[in-house]
Structures are given as structure tokens and as C-alpha cells.
Structure 1
Amino acid sequence: MDDGDWAEFARRMATLARDLLAQPSVDATLKRITESAVELMDGCDAAGILLVRRRTVRTFAPTDDLVTQADELQEHLGEGPCLDVIRHDAERVFRVHDLTAHPDRWPRFVPEAAGLGIGSMMGFLLYTEDEELGALNLYSRRPSAFTEAGETTGWLLASHAAVALSSARTHAQLEEAMATRDVIGEAIGILRERHHLDPDQAFTALRRYSQERNIKLRDVARQVCASGRIGS
């Protein structure tokens, strides 16, 4: 890139960073990440985010059916470049110039993926949280679509994506915590009014029922809000 190209690229990345942080939900953030990958990455025909938790594979925000098909194929076969970058996160990135050139590494995945029309792939580890791992994966229908310069662009995009995704998840968790607090408060109010309890007694009743029935406290509170009493 010359100076003008770098300046334009920097402007687009700055706009993307603001855009990602402005998204209203985790799902919207994921969708904008994958859309941006197709928009910004030369040769990228499709993009998606793969999350693996306790060996369960889930695909988020695919821009094309090709992404979902490839992820399902890797989960079914238990092999493939997207799973490798998650399982062996020391690599943190993969770039496959020509998928058909790696029949020994992924002997079952390669012929099936070629049948889907995948020519080359590139992926980046996004984050590690508890037992959940994620990667941003890019697909092209032609071989050698992703270059070394493209890998640098992908790293920048993945870095922005990881920050935005973490922020979105934190915001969603905060909203859930506030909603839980509100529903528990409402349930306590209902029990106080109906059974003439003080706040501590009402909360103790909720907690005891939750522990005895092995039901989450917020779910017990929702039952009280819906029916006006604890239990059926």
C-alpha cells in the first residue's frame, strides 16, 4: 500500500471500531464483524464466527450458507483448519492457500470442503473465556485468495472484533443482572404484600425454595411474578 492507501485503510478501521462498539446487542456485533470481513478483506467471499464450548460447535453471523456448511462438516468429521486454530491456540491464526494441497493434514475434510467449493481459508482466534473459544473464519472460493498483507488486515479486524465482542458480552451480562435484580425485587414485593413478610423473610423464602427444588433464584422469582405465589 502507498501512503494514500494506508490513510484510507486507517480511516476505515477507525470507522469500523466506532461502528462495532455502537451495535445494540451481541448478535448485532457479531453480524457487523462478519459483514466487515467480507467488505474489507480482499478475496473474502464469506465469513463467520465459530464458537466451541465443551466440544459443541456453534456458528454465528455467517454471511453465506457456505460458512455454516463448512462448520457443520468440521464438527461432524472432528477435523479442519477452523478447529485447529481453536484447539491449538498458540498458533492463533491459520492461512490455507490451497485447501486441496493438505490432504494428509485433514484427510476427510479436504475432499468434502472442495465439494462445497472452498478454495482457500484464513482464520483468527478471537478470545478465550472459561471453556468457550472463538475464531473469525474467512472463506474464498478460489485458491491463494488470502495474502500476507491480507493476514495483517485480518489481524487488525480480529483485534477490533475481540474488543467489541467482549464489550458487547459485558453489556449483555450487566443488562441480565439488572433484569434479574428487578424481577427478584418484584417477587419480594409480592410475597411481602400477600404473606405479610418483611424483606428478609420474603427473600429467604425465595432462596429456600430455589435450593430445595434446584431452580435458579431468578426463575423462582419469575414464577412468583407470574402466579403470585411460590410453587405451582
Structure 2
Amino acid sequence: MSGPEPGAEDAERETHVLRRRIARELIAAVRGLPPTAVPKALCRACASLLPGVSGLSLSVLGREAGTGVVLFASDEVAGQLAEIQYTLGEGPCTEAVRLLAPVFASDLTRAPDARRWPLFSVQAAKAGAEAVFSLPLTAAAGALGTLDLYRQTAGTLDDGQVRTALLVADALGLAVTALDHASSDSDGVVAWLEGAESDRVEVHQATGMIMVHMGVTAQEALLRLRARAFAQGSTSLAIARAVIDGSMDIRHE
């Protein structure tokens, strides 16, 4: 029987050391913080661990197909990219969830990436991103969400960056899984969503208004909201705010 390939044990040892360092840094970042401060602290820690990208976000899938909650985003562009993908229903993150595998788009300004997601590619470039990399957060039941990275300019991630990103996604997957099993007094982990949902409450509120006025299901109401967002080149959140303040009426569409 042949032994391990030369260097395999060293690579495994390095990966183990890196995994422990990532876990320590994430734990240290959130220790002692109130629940609502955890998402931003995690975001800063992840950005520190992945300095080779322009920004990043973490999204968790909602109960309804095609819905999700952005737990954190490092900047406005990262947040917009997540919103755009949920609005359009296409992009690397939706593909990563479907395939349960990382999906990398190193140049959204040209084929094959631009052809693979024609709508998302245009909107992403307008938002300020030419490369997007999505890693699924997986569990036994399937995908929990995605860790999404972007670069302002086209380009790939090197092997070290990919390895670190995969390990960060693994660590975040374990943390998100804890949300479903944590009690309300377990260091506030279950309350992560409280801080992350603060602006998404408006989407839920607008969806409810559309349901009442049009007599449709929650899913159809959300689809109508997203359709208007797509038609106007906007985001679901922006349309939701317009519906709530009365400056937009989509009841008769």
C-alpha cells in the first residue's frame, strides 16, 4: 500500500492550523458583545481574514424559495450585490446554493460569466463589481446560505485565498447552524438575526401591505415587489420603502 503523497501531510497540517486561527479570530471578535453588535463584528473579522477582496457579505436562506436575509455586508456594494441576486433570481450565489459548491465569476464584463448571468452581470458592473465569488454554507439538510466576495476589478483568487475563503465559510456555516439550536440565553447567538433584519423588516412590511391590498399570497406579493425592482433597475429594499411611504403603488400591476 502506498503512503501519502509527498507534501500531503504538510498541507493538511497547514490547513488545520489555518482553520484553528480562523475559529479563534471569529470567536475573539464576538466574545462579550451584545447580540445586535455580533453581525458587524463578524463582518470586520471576515474582512480581516480575506484582505484580497474588495468586500463581502453573508446571506442566510429564507423559508420561501428564492428569499434570504443578509446577515452582514462590509460595504454598500456588497449589500447591493446580495439584493440584486435575490431580486433577479440569478447570479453566483443562487448557483452556489443549487450546486452546493463554490461558484466563481472572475470577469462579469465578458463571456463566459457575462453570458451565464446576463442580467446580474450588467447590474453588478453598475454597482461596482467585476468579479464575484460565492461559497455555500452547507449542512446535512443542504445549503444554509452563502458567503459572497467581490472584487472591483476582474481577476481570480489565488490558491491561498480560495483555501482561506473555504475555511471561513465552513466556520460561518457552523455559526449559522447554531442559530437553530441556541436558546435565547446562549450568549445571544440566536439574536444575530435581530441586528441583521433591521432593514429587511421594511421588505416584510411592504410585502404585507401588497398582500392585504391585492388579496394575494406572501410569495406572490414578494414576486410583484421584485418585478418592480427589476423593471426600474432598483432593489427590493428601495421599492419596499417607496411602497411603505406611499410614493409608489404597485397594486394594479
Q: Which residue of 2 aligns with 1:227?
A: none
Aligned in 2, Cα 1:25/1:155: closer, same or farther, shift over 3 Å?
farther
Partner of residue 44, structure 1:
53
SS of the residue corresponding to residue 104 of structure 1 reads helix
- What is the deviation of 1:163? 2.0
Q: Distance in 1 between matches of 2:20 and 2:135?
A: 22
- Matching of residue 72 in structure 1 with residue 55 in structure 2: no
Residue 136 (structure 1) shift: 0.9
Q: Which residue of 1 aligns with 2:40?
A: 31
Name the CA distance, whole Å, in 2 between partners of 1:28 and 1:71: 21
Q: Do the aligned residues in 1 keep the contact of 2:22 with 2:49 (CA within 8 Å)?
A: no
* Structure 1 residue 172: Cα displacement: 4.0
Q: Quick check: 2:26–2:45 contact (8 Å CA) kept in 1? A: no
Residue 136 of structure 2: aligned partner: 125
Tell me how far apart the structure 1 counterparts of residues 23 and 82 of structure 2 sit (CA, whole Å).
30
Q: How far apart are residue 156 of structure 1 and its match?
A: 1.3
Over 3 Å counting, the alpha-carbon distance change for 1:160 and 1:27 in structure 2 is farther
Root-mean-square deviation over aligned CA pairs: 3.2
Look up the match of 2:229: none
- Equivalent position to 2:97, from 53, 72, 86: 86
| Residues 87-106 of structure 1 aligned to structure 2 (within 5 Å) | 87-89=98-100, 91=101, 93-101=102-110, 102-106=113-117
1:10 & 1:132 partners in 2: Cα distance? 21
State the one-letter code of the partner of 1:98: D
| CA deviation string 1:85-141 (max 9, x = no partner) | 11221x2x1222212231221011111111111021222111348687311111111
TM (norm. structure 1) is 0.61
Report what 1:146 is aligned to: 157
C-alpha distance 168-98 of structure 1, shift in aligned 2 (>3 A): same
Comparing 153-162 and 22-31, the one that deviates more: 22-31
**Which entry has the higher C-alpha Rg, 1 or 2?**
1
- Cα deviation digits, residues 2-27 of structure 1 (max 9, x gap): x9xx6996774253143267365665
Q: Which runs of 5+ in 1 are unaligned?
A: 176-232
**Of 122, 125, 135, the match for 2:146:** 135
Counterpart residue number, 2:230: none
Secondary structure in structure 2 of the residue aligned to 1:159: helix
Match of 1:166 among 156, 171, 177: 177
Q: Taking structure 1 as reference, are residues 25 and 121 closer, same or farther at Cα in structure 2, changes over 3 Å only?
A: farther
- The CA distance in 2 between the partners of 1:11 and 1:133, in whole Å, is 22
Q: In percent, how many aligned pairs have the same letter?
A: 23
Unaligned runs of 5+ in 2: 1-10, 187-253
TM-score when normalising by structure 2? 0.57
